[in-house]
Structure 1
């Protein structure tokens, strides 16, 4: 069953893949940050962003599962 929460979960999990597979958006050297070319710091930033998005997706999934279990009288799916 597709719910708004599950759509948000899917977007949180798909966003890093889209960002990394769209190489043309970050295949450049400028702007540099503390001497590091954009290509490298963009990818490293996505490591942190991916971690945060995965944690958000996991928390939302847990909350969704608890809500579904309480609606079904305690039976988990």
Structure 2
């Protein structure tokens, strides 16, 4: 397993860990513009999850291109 694939895995697992660890965000304070912490924390993770998924996808594409290049170079 390459370091890039480890980073991809971490990008995809982080949102699950953050959301499954309910005790870390099951509170009302600090409120943000009147919205309790419990809700805005979860909505923030929607945005963070999107960014991490896009990052993982781009890293995956880069890794696949690099593997194809190495494979083509070795075949010659």
Which TM class, normalised by the smaller chain length?
A: over 0.9
Name 1:69's counterpart in structure 2: 68
CA distance in 2, matches of 1:35, 1:57: 33
**Structure with greater helix share of residues:** 2
Residue segments in structure 2 that go unaligned for 5+ positions in a row:
none
**TM-score, structure 1 as length reference:** 0.93
Residue segments in structure 1 that go unaligned for 5+ positions in a row:
none
Cα shift at 1:7: 0.2
RMSD: 0.9
**TM-score, structure 2 as length reference:** 0.95
Pairwise mapping of residues 1-77 of structure 1 onto structure 2 (< 5 A)? 2-73=1-72
CA distance in 2, matches of 1:27, 1:5: 33
Count of residues in correspondence between the two structures: 73
